[in-house]
Structure 1
Amino acid sequence: MYKLGIITMHFLFNLSLLLILFFTFFLLNKRVGSIHLHKRASLFYFVISLILCSLFSYPIQNGYVLDLRIIPFILGGLYLRFSPILGFLVIFFRAFHGIDVGFFIGVAFYTVFSLFIWYISPWFLKLTSNIRILFSAGITLLISVGIFTIALNKVSPDQLLDIFIAYLIVPPLGVAMISTLIEIREKNQQLQQQLVIEEKLAALEQMGAAISHEIRNPLTTAIGFIELLDQVSLDSNNSAKYLSIIKDELDSAEGIIQDYLTFSKPIMESTEELDIQKELTHILKLLHPLANYHSVKVSTDFSASGTIQGDKSKFHQCFINIIRNSIESMPYGGALMIKTTATQNKIIISIQDTGIGMSKEQIKRIGEPYYSTKGSEGTGLSMMVAYSILRAMRVTIEVQSEIGEGTLSQFHFKRHKTKIKRR
């Protein structure tokens, strides 16, 4: 019964290191993802693999060195067209073992084969996944046969079986295993991309439903009054009244479209220093009539003052939507508390209401299309806009709520170092 020879064991250990490196680099590191999407990171992997193969090479007589350099060379060349770079590195690393006959044979072989692999790589990538695995393993086997033929005259007879297994089985097996892992990783990446596309399409469909639902009401009202003006003779006072209603409804529709544009592209048009206390006070003045209408008592605690950097109009739009949503969550009255606290690096705006509250699932869905925190089904466009603005401002959001117990929302802003001087 054959016992694994030293060369075979050497190669199997080296192959295990390459597999561990691949698993660590591509399968655990989610930031790397597809080898085609991150070519620099992938090149780094293949270069490290070549270094490992060079470190764990096995020298034989007459200056010849056996190793698994063919594995990263073949895979990097076929999948990413890195063969010229990898071929140069193979020759460079081989030079450390001496400039001898084996070195010049390697120069000739890797120069020609680098160009060949680089040339066939586009054709290779058009093949199916299984054919790519078979082709890469097959071409590795052919090269291994050539190397084995050369090595026959350089080793003792008792090493022939060891060399045969080490060079005709381990490299093709290694290429087949790693190429299979590459194909699996690529398929997973494609599935993830497909899921993202489907989620975007679903969100787009929901957004379309949201916009059509929101914009239909003012347009229907405007069309109705236009038809009334066209069909009925009215005095100047009624005509002016109806025209005013039409204008208000069209302004409302324009506002909805503007909200959608803000949601889809919440770019900060102008950045300036904002006094949190001053801006919140101004917002609460605007919403005071709405709070009175819903019998909501608003109280404030602006004990912490400070400034942030942001777009004033976007900041107003954001917190008008959020506070209005809190007020409307208390249709039969309640209490609303707006509070600011500060740390050395942050300013925290807390908004607490005694409204109907939300479940954990509802908290996760805040800001999604076709969802409203007021309990009844709605588009939730205002909250979508608000959360889109906050994400653009890189604000950390924390929401605590229970059904029937109200909601506490906290918004963590990065504090601006310069403080506004008060007289």
Structure 2
Amino acid sequence: MKAEKLSIVSELAASVAHEVRNPLTVVRGFVQLIGNSSNSTDSQRREYMDLVLTELDRAQAIITDYLGMAGQKSMAKEKINLTDTLSDITTLMTSYANYKTVKFKCEIDKDLYVFGDPIKLKQVFINIIKNSIEAVPNMGGLVTIHACLLESTIHIKISDNGIGMTKEQIERLGEPYFSSKDDGTGLGLTVTYSIVKNHGGSVKYISEINKGTVAIISLPLYFDTSSDYSHPFSENLSG
């Protein structure tokens, strides 16, 4: 029992360290921009500082969330404008992408709403986008984010032209301590899969070695029963 408890503590500590590293990496990118960009305006610097504070708050929230796991704290779900969330995340990750000389291409439908925990869902998308950025080549790297509505499900498709993965690697994604990266722990995707599942969604990966990877996150659309408004269906992701 003592060995089992020590193992659980070790896994939890590694998971916390991994998840907190993501916002700290983004903060480091913005601090570099502030220090290296002599041509930036006061308003740009203020925007960078606001984003730095946002990410530090997220790191604090992640730590608080893990500390509450022992008590099986339930998710604080609410109606979320996923369109705005994805746009904010794209802006947030741009500095990290620029640091890695990676270009972003985004196509996000309007009025996409889900019912969920905003902090946890933001964590999901940052994890996956960060993995995509790190998988692409130093020159000519491209990450594409496409979000649309198909029937009653929102599909968020995150594609890259990176190194890709084998079928065996894809099958093991989400396992604790399995990672396709040399210095990875695999815990980021373990947490990602768990969060998406707890939101009634799913994560699917399609990949080919040296051609790239596509991650498709599916989440149920939030229906406002007090309104007659219905969202228009979008084109199929395969289009």
The two structures have a TM-score, normalised by structure 2, of 0.65
Structure 2 counterpart of 1:369, one-letter code: P
Three-state SS of the structure 2 residue aligned to 1:308 is strand
CA distance in 2, matches of 1:313, 1:347: 18
Within the candidate set 287, 299, 306, 2:112 is matched to 306
- Please give the alpha-carbon distance, in whole angstroms, between the structure 2 residues aligned to 1:359 and 1:206: 30
The equivalent residue for 2:209 is 403
1:296 aligns to 2:90 (yes or no): no
Structure 1 CA distance, aligned partners of 2:223 and 2:62?
A: 36
Q: Which whole-Å CA distance do the structure 2 matches of 1:304 and 1:325 have between them?
A: 25
Deviation of 1:210 after TM superposition, in Å, equals 7.8
**Computing the radius of gyration over CA atoms, which structure comes out larger, 1 or 2?**
1
Is 1:360 aligned with 2:167? yes
* Matched-pair identity in %: 35
Q: Which amino acid aligns with 2:127?
A: N
Aligned counterpart, 2:143: 336
Matched residues in 2 for 1:263 and 1:362: separation? Answer: 29
Q: How far did 1:405 drift?
A: 1.4
Q: Does 1:380 align with 2:186?
A: yes
How far did residue 265 of structure 1 move?
Answer: 8.2
Tell me by how many angstroms 1:378 deviates: 2.1
1:401 partner SS: strand
SS in 2 for 1:378: coil
Equivalent position amino acid for 2:105 in 1: S
- 2:86 is the counterpart of 1:284: no
- Map Cα deviations across residues 314-349 of structure 1 (whole Å, 9 max, x no partner): 111111111111111225141000001212211111
Aligned partner of 2:25 in structure 1 is none
CA contact (8 A) 2:80 2:113 kept: yes
Change (3 A) 1:265 1:366: farther
Amino acid at match of 1:335: L
* Alpha-carbon distance in 1 for matches of 2:71, 2:191: 10
In 2, Cα distance between equivalents of 1:285 and 1:253: 18
Secondary structure in 1 matching 2:194 = helix
How far off is 1:205 after superposition?
4.4
Q: Distance in 2 between matches of 1:264 and 1:356?
A: 38
Residue aligning to 2:10: 208
Residues 264-303 of structure 1: per-residue CA shift (max 9 Å, x gap): 8885532211122111001111111100011110011113
Residues 210, 405 of structure 1: CA spacing in aligned structure 2 closer, same or farther, 3 A cutoff?
Answer: farther
The within-5 A match list for 1:215-230 is 215=17
CA contact (8 A) 1:304 1:342 kept: no
List per-residue Cα deviations over 1:84-142 (Å, max 9, x = no partner): xxxxxxxxxxxxxxxxxxxxxxxxxxxxxxxxxxxxxxxxxxxxxxxxxxxxxxxxxxx
Q: What SS does the corresponding residue of 1:400 show, helix, strand or coil?
A: strand
Deviation at 1:363, TM superposition (A): 0.9
Equivalent residue number for residue 413 of structure 1: 219
The SS at the match of 2:126 is helix
- Conserved? CA contact 2:16–2:66, under 8 Å: no
SS in 1 for 2:190: helix
CA distance in 2, matches of 1:264, 1:353: 36
Shift of 1:260: 5.2
Partner of 1:197: none
SS at match of 1:391: helix
**Contact 2:16 2:63 (8 Å CA) reproduced:** no
Bigger helix fraction: 1
Distance of 1:337 and 1:404 partners within structure 2? 17
Cα distance, 1:417 vs structure 2:
2.0
1:345–1:414 contact (8 Å) kept in structure 2: yes
Letter in 1 for 2:206: Q
Distance in 2 (CA, whole Å) between partners of 1:253 and 1:352 is 26
The unaligned stretches of length 5 or more in structure 1 are 1-200, 219-250
- In structure 2, the CA distance between the partners of 1:335 and 1:252, relative to structure 1 (3 Å rule), is same
Structure 1, residues 151-193: CA drift from partner, whole Å, max 9, x if none? xxxxxxxxxxxxxxxxxxxxxxxxxxxxxxxxxxxxxxxxxxx
CA 1:261/1:323 → structure 2, altered by over 3 Å: closer, same or farther?
Answer: farther
**Does the aligned pair in 1 maintain the 2:15–2:187 contact within 8 Å?**
no
If asked which structure has higher relative contact order (CA below 8 Å, sep 6+), I would say 2
Out of 140, 152, 155, the residue aligned to residue 345 of structure 1 is: 152
- Map residues 68-217 of structure 1 onto 2, 5 A cutoff: 205=7, 208=10, 211-212=13-14, 215=17
Query: Contact between 1:298 and 1:336, CA under 8 Å: does it hold in 2?
Result: yes
